[in-house]
Amino acid sequence: MNRKRPGTGPLTVTVFVFPGVRLLDVTGPIEVFASANEFGGHYRVRIASADGAEVITSAGTRLSADLRVDDVREPYDVLVVPGGPGWETLIKDDALLGAVRQLNEKARCTASVCTGAFLLAAAGLLDGRRAATHWRQSRQLALRFPSVQVEPDAIFVRDGPMMTSAGVTAGIDLSLALVEDHYGAEVARAVAKDMVVFMQRPGGQSQFSVRSRVPHTRQEMLRRVLDAVTENPEANHTLSAMARRAGVSVRHMTRLFDEEVGTTPARYVEQVRLEAAQVMLETDDDPMSVVARRTGFGSPESLRRAFVRHLGVTPGAFRASFRTTGVGTKGSVSEAVSP
């Protein structure tokens, strides 16, 4: 995309809404663009529905539309296609998919939020392209639309003029990347600070924490052990220490982790500590020695080895990446040249 500088006229963003749309998929991006206007951006946001009538969201909230799809006749800058929990029904709605195609024809860039990727895919707009959606639905997207190359761990993906994002709040990440692309990193950073969100969030779709990814366990004492690691990653969490804490043998603790968590105790502890270090590096400017100590790695060298082994980057490079949304670079944004 070409960088749009302030003072050259507004950029028009059209958000398509429909019955059952998820409210935050709509309001998240709108808030980003509205906030950008306070820091040097110049966006004109409008909401379009198929017939121009209001719609009722999946939350039961009514949303008014500014115009109907047929009223969009001139080329414009960005189309946002939100998702909804009823995506399985929506992708069978020929009229809805026709409206998406019609709006896409006039848009310079089309972006989906969460399960909105299913609408783009069903409309044939993602054929041969890479795409992202909510991590819970990424497998379904790949199975239903084999011509789409799904990137299950991406927060958002850009492939030519098409952008797709992961679950719900990832629409904010995507919108921040658009703001950076249009008006520069400083404006995007100001918006992120104003909204109290990350400029670029950690670890792919590690938008859900290590602890939350662990299947629910019926073993209360194991839950206490897992929670203790999450709450205080710098404490002593050796296998023997965890076994003592739970009142079981080392062998039994190892077996519980294998059966209930699906990994080893040491690997789980390292994943939690790595996540804690990522958060510190994104939000603080503490020296690496402090980050290493507070997250349980002990030394900067141990921290560095863990980052390189799991993420392929050093802690310093990881921290530097959060000074930008990553638009136009490898990482959370994937780019491809359209055929």
pLDDT value of residue 54: 96
If one compares 30 and 330, the residue with the highest pLDDT of the two is 30
Q: Indicate whether 323 pLDDT > 70.
A: no
- Helix, strand, coil shares of the chain, percent, nearest 5, are 45, 15, 40
Residue 328 confidence (pLDDT) above 90: no
Q: Does residue 68 surpass a pLDDT of 70?
A: yes
The pLDDT of residue 47 is above 60: yes
The yes-or-no verdict on residue 4 having pLDDT over 60 is no
Per-residue pLDDT reduced to its tens digit, 248-299: 999 999 999 998 888 899 999 999 999 889 878 876 778 999 999 999 999 9
Q: What is the pLDDT of residue 319?
A: 85
Picking from 159, 205, 181, the residue whose alpha carbon sits closest to that of residue 337 is 159
Which residue in 90, 239, 221, 113 sits closest to 166, CA to CA? 113
Amino acid at 191: V
Residue 336 has what pLDDT? 35
Residue 331, pLDDT score: 40
Asked if residues 165 and 156 have their Cβ atoms less than 8 Å apart, the reply is yes
Note the pLDDT of residue 313.
86
pLDDT value of residue 201: 53
Q: Quick check: 207 pLDDT over 60? A: no
- Among 93-107, 193-207, 275-289, the range scoring the smallest mean pLDDT is 193-207
Q: How much is the average pLDDT of 80-107?
A: 96
Residue burial 133-153, b: 16+ Cβ < 10 Å; e: rest: bbbebbebbbeebeebbbbbe
Mean pLDDT score of the chain: 86
Least confident of 36-50, 281-295, 320-334: 320-334
Mean pLDDT over 95-123 rounds to 97
| CA 1 vs CA 9, 162, 188, 273, 335: distances in Å | 17, 11, 16, 37, 11
pLDDT at 206 over 70: no
Sketch out the chain's domains with CATH numbers: 11-195 (3.40.50.880), 210-321 (1.10.10.60)
Query: Quick one: pLDDT band at residue 334, thresholds 50, 70, 90?
Result: very low
**% the chain with pLDDT above 90:** 61
The answer to whether residue 88 scores a pLDDT higher than 50 is yes
| Residue 325 pLDDT | 58
Per residue, the 3-state secondary structure of 143-171, as one string, reads: HHCCCCEECCCCCEEEECCEEEECCCCHH
Residue 11: its pLDDT value, please?
97
Contacts of 253 (CB under 8 A, 6+ apart): 225, 239, 242, 243, 246, 265
The band of 324, judged by pLDDT with boundaries at 50, 70 and 90, is low
The Cα–Cα gap between 245 and 221 comes to 9
Q: Which of 58-72, 110-124, 211-225, 320-334 has the lowest mean pLDDT?
A: 320-334
pLDDT at 167: 75
Q: Distance (Å, rounded) from C-alpha 249 to C-alpha 254?
A: 9
Q: What's the mean pLDDT in 73-95?
A: 96
Percentage of the residues of the chain whose pLDDT score is greater than 70: 85
Residue 320 has pLDDT above 70, yes or no: yes
pLDDT at 284: 73
Residue 192 scores a pLDDT above 70:
yes
Looking at the annotation, which residues are catalytic?
114
